Amino acid sequence: MISGFAEAVYKNYDGSVYDLMDEALGKALEMAGIERKDLDGFMTTFLPGVFDGNIYMHFFPDQICGYLGITPKYIDSLDYGGPSVLSALWRAERLIKEGVAENILLLFGGKGSDVRKRKQTVDSFEKLYPEVTNTPYRHLINLYNSMNPVSDYALAAERHKKIFGSTDYQRAELIAKQRKNANRSGYAMFTGDLSPEDVLKSSIIASPLHLLEIVYPVDGFHAFIVSRKSGKLRDIRVQNYGEAHQSLLPPEVDDITVTPAIESSKNFRKEILKCDFYELYDSFSITVMLQLENTGIVPKGQSGKFIEKNSISVDGDLPLNTGGGSINRGQPAYMSGSVLLYEALLQMNEMASGNQVKNARKVFINGIGGWSRNHSVSLILGD
Amino acid sequence: MKIEDVYNEYDRMFASSNMPFIRCNTCAKAYYYPRTVCPFCGSSSIEIIKSSGTGEIYSCTEFNGGFYGIIKFKEGFGAYMDIEGNNIVTGRNIIIKFREISGKILPYAFVD
């Protein structure tokens, strides 16, 4: 169970990534009521460019543990982008159950601004390093005019429009509704009135996607401490879990509106429908729509109409991305998984102030990401 | 077959303005991105074949003043490509042309 959780998130952080992780860890330890010496497990991830600009760091988890003063019995690094932290939580719970460790630190993040300011993303970072080839497909992928992941999600949004008749306005409505949640929460990075028309007036980055339906990369770390004892927090655990990974490229699948979320959620669809609130990965507007359909919350092709007709506020039909999502909170180091988990834990511990879901007993969280949406993690947290 | 053999054959075919793809002799599926083992069935009985070089735009996006998308070819395989031509929209038929990009001859999709 989680004994402590914290974030240290900034739009632009001037200092080093090591200061940022120290800040998040310090706050999480305080909540958990334990000290660094009590941490005996460590799980993290490395993405290029977000660790003070380094494209790579040899023996990365060990470097971090050494710096933070942690002597773990167990070290792990999960490398599939945004959903990785959700898998780390599930694995940490199991490791503790097995007696491998007592207090496992999940530390995920980095400085997105370092990459953002170089006008690249972690997926397109090879454009800055011609000697790096990110895929086995070499020039057949990387010499074309792509802008991943934006161009790839734009292709999914365009296909969804073509096949199911979803509209730009429906995607913009989702963004406007998430902004309402953000305004109400009082802890979002981006706030203020935002109408669907405002979203559609923002510049088109890769058609049909507009600037305001694309997550903004920021600087930050989240620290989650998974412990044998729950401490001051509610004793919540992963109730249902699934992860799925696919290896075919989007041009090789029959339908790019189908993601591995279908597979990762398939064993507990009925339970998903019974949750009190929902945190779905929101790297782009279309990402949320694909997950609504792929996890069985909404019939295939109907997510646009669903968004039009339903409220996603904490007292609405389907409380969704209750803190405004990473679209409004910023995406630390190109990964939104920690933002989803952090918000879920605020809600489940009655710490969400003005935006508290009443009687938040169960939450469905879905993370999706990595190269070409190849990875999905679905889980339900509850008592 | 080794991966380098696939790349070399692709380069040879690109240089003579032919569009290659791989056909699995076991499951008969077609794919484009080089692997020496079929990603659909795991068979290593594969061959490189010349495509008709025709297909349609499965999905496309415009950015930085150009078009890019997924092309589904007549033979059943798909690929990412730059797209040029008039009235570029999802569903339109394309033919393959070739040009040099950063020192490599590569195919791109063209809408007539």
What pLDDT is attached to residue A128? 84
Residues of chain A with C-beta less than 8 angstroms from the C-beta of B7: 138
Domain A143-217+234-382's class?
alpha beta
What pLDDT is attached to residue A207? 98
pLDDT under 50: residue ranges of chain A: none
What pLDDT is attached to residue A14? 95
Beta bridge partners of B80: B70
Domain locations in chain A? 2-119+220-227, 143-217+234-382
Give the model's confidence band at B16: pLDDT under 50 very low, under 70 low, under 90 confident, else very high.
very high
Mean pLDDT for chain B? 97
Residue B15, domain extent = 3-111
- Beta carbons of A251 and B101 less than 8 Å apart: no
Q: Does this chain's domain A2-119+220-227 share its CATH topology with A143-217+234-382? A: yes
| A230 and A1 Cβ atoms separated by less than 8 Å | yes
Minimum distance, in Å, between the CA of residue B35 and any CA atom of chain A? 8
Q: Is the dihedral of CA A122, A123, A124, A126 positive or negative?
A: positive
Minimum distance, in Å, between the CA of residue B1 and any CA atom of chain A? 16
Distance separating alpha carbons of residues A57 and A221, to the nearest angstrom: 18
Residues of chain A with C-beta less than 8 angstroms from the C-beta of B23: none
What pLDDT is attached to residue A322? 97
The interface predicted TM-score of the complex, written ipTM, equals 0.97
What pLDDT is attached to residue A349? 96
What pLDDT is attached to residue A293? 98
Query: Architecture of domain A2-119+220-227 in CATH?
Result: 3-Layer(aba) Sandwich (3.40)
Domains held by chain B: number: 1
Residue A212 corresponds to which tokens in the numbers above? 């305001």
Distance separating alpha carbons of residues A8 and A224, to the nearest angstrom: 12
- Count of Cβ atoms closer than 10 Å to residue B93 Cβ: 12
| A9 and A92 Cβ atoms separated by less than 8 Å | no
Residues of chain A with C-beta less than 8 angstroms from the C-beta of B35: 136
Q: Which residue is associated with the tokens 């969400």?
A: A352
**First CA to last CA distance, chain A:** 10
CB-count exposure of residue A311 (10 Å: 0-12, 13-18, 19+): middle
Residue of A156, A162, A204 lying closest to B91 (CB–CB): A162
Residues of chain A with C-beta less than 8 angstroms from the C-beta of B59: 155-156, 158-159, 162, 256
The predicted-structure confidence for A169-226, as pLDDT tens digits, reads as follows 999 999 999 999 999 998 999 999 999 999 999 999 999 999 999 999 999 999 999 9
